[in-house]
């Protein structure tokens, strides 16, 4: 059986064409040009994936999405492309800003399609917690080892599911001197926080790609845009401590901007432990007019850098402060470790614990 993807959009042809190229024979693309026709098409076609634009000629896509979630077809995932704001009772599985690059949207759609294939054909993947945990692991990047640097991460969820996520990328052919990435920490560890993780991941990726392409001039602009978009997409106030970074190996500098993550850990030449540097800032999701500040660090004498969520930085602080621990691990533990000018392909994770 070929799965179906339903696109509900006032002018669906351009986006449907892109979907056809991406999915090819792996899915059939079905379109509807209004909310009402989309509601009936959803019941008739029983699509695995449904993409709904907020702007429809007859009914708001916010309402269409909610109607479809309340009359949900089994094994179906709904994406909502938001243009104004999300109402508190809006229902969807995935919230995306309508300005999001189609490539980012379809990257997630391919992951979801793959999951549904495994669920329907294998019958061994459950909804809820297991589904969210599966999706989180699929979002994680691969380690990178190059002559100039290596980058790895720690991702240890709290009771299977995490409010954290990490991402980084490096284009050796097109942009060999730059490494981009981010880390964030949403509230909660349950299925309800999973939607927040997906929204934050997507918004940070979108704005970082705009920075990489020159459309945003600084990482402070990245955080400012993410903050406004996140508040715009999230009907209930929630905070997302985050940090975004860019390494310029040609100029030997690192630029970063923190939004509520207070520490960055550095190990310099000749040192055996990591030293935390403290930075104060606003937090993503706190207020729409928050301002952020880009920081620049010279990398001449820096060998290791760790960006971490509060789960790991709290453990560092508790250990160094001599506090009696009530549990060995009490939160999500996520971190990105960058080692500079180290050609070895072996993990340096043991030194993270030494800090």
Calculate the CA dihedral of residues 11, 13, 19, 24 and round it to 10 degrees: 160
Question: Is pLDDT above 60 for 215?
Answer: yes
**Per-residue pLDDT band at 212 (split at 50, 70, 90):** very high
DSSP code of residue 26: G
Do 117 and 259 lie in one domain? The reply is: no
Do 181 and 293 lie in one domain? The reply is: yes
Which tens digit of pLDDT belongs to each residue from 281-307?
899 998 888 999 999 999 999 999 999
* Structural domain contains residue 130: no
Do 340 and 203 lie in one domain? The reply is: yes
**Per-residue pLDDT band at 313 (split at 50, 70, 90):** low
* Structural domain contains residue 97: yes
**CATH number of the domain residue 38 falls in:** 3.40.50.2300
Do 107 and 195 lie in one domain? The reply is: no
* Structural domain contains residue 135: no
Do 115 and 13 lie in one domain? The reply is: yes
Q: Please provide the average confidence, as pLDDT, over all residues in the chain.
A: 83
Do 99 and 176 lie in one domain? The reply is: no
Q: According to the model, what pLDDT value does residue 80 have?
A: 92
**CATH number of the domain residue 191 falls in:** 3.60.40.10
Do 212 and 246 lie in one domain? The reply is: yes
Helix (H, G, I), strand (E, B) or coil at 24: helix
Do 114 and 151 lie in one domain? The reply is: no
Mapped to the 3 state alphabet, what secondary structure does 206-219 carry? HHHHHHHCCCCCCH
CA angle 93, 201, 140 (to 5 degrees): 100
**Where in the sequence is the domain holding 53, given as residue range(s)?**
4-125
State if pTM tops 0.85.
no
Do 203 and 162 lie in one domain? The reply is: yes
Do 146 and 112 lie in one domain? The reply is: no
CA angle 236, 158, 199 (to 5 degrees): 35
Do 343 and 311 lie in one domain? The reply is: yes
Do 110 and 151 lie in one domain? The reply is: no
Which tens digit of pLDDT belongs to each residue from 96-117?
888 888 888 898 898 888 878 7
* Structural domain contains residue 133: no
């Amino acid at each position: 059986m070929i799965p179906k993807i339903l696109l509900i959009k006032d002018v669906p042809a351009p986006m449907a064409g892109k979907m056809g190229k991406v999915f090819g024979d792996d899915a059939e693309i079905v379109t509807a040009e209004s909310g009402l026709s989309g509601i009936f098409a959803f019941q008739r076609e029983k699509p695995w994936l449904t993409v709904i634009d907020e702007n429809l000629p007859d009914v708001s896509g916010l309402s269409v999405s909610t109607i479809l979630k309340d009359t949900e077809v089994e094994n179906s995932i709904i994406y909502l492309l938001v243009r104004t704001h999300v109402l508190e009772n809006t229902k969807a599985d995935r919230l995306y800003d309508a300005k999001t690059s189609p490539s980012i949207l379809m990257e997630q759609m391919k992951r979801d399609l793959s999951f549904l294939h495994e669920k329907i054909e294998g019958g061994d993947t459950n909804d809820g917690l297991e589904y969210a945990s599966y999706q989180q692991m699929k979002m994680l990047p691969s380690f990178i080892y190059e002559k100039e640097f290596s980058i790895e991460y720690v991702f240890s969820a709290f009771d299977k599911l995490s409010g954290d996520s990490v991402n980084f990328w490096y284009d050796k052919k097109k942009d060999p001197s730059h490494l981009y990435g981010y880390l964030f920490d949403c509230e909660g560890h349950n299925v309800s926080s999973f939607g927040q993780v997906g929204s934050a991941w997507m918004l940070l990726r979108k704005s970082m790609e705009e920075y990489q392409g020159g459309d945003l001039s600084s990482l402070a602009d990245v955080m400012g845009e993410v903050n406004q978009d996140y508040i715009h997409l999230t009907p209930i106030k929630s905070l997302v401590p985050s940090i975004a970074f860019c390494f310029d190996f040609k100029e030997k500098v690192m630029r970063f901007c923190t939004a509520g993550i207070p520490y960055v850990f550095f190990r310099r030449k000749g040192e055996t432990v990591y030293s935390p540097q403290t930075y104060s800032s606003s937090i993503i999701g706190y207020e729409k007019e928050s301002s952020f500040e880009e920081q620049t660090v010279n990398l001449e004498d820096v060998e290791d850098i760790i960006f971490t969520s509060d789960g790991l930085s709290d453990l560092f602080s508790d250990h160094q402060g001599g506090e009696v621990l009530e549990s060995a691990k009490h939160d999500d533990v996520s971190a990105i470790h960058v080692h500079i000018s180290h050609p070895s392909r072996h993990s340096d994770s043991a030194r993270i614990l030494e800090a």
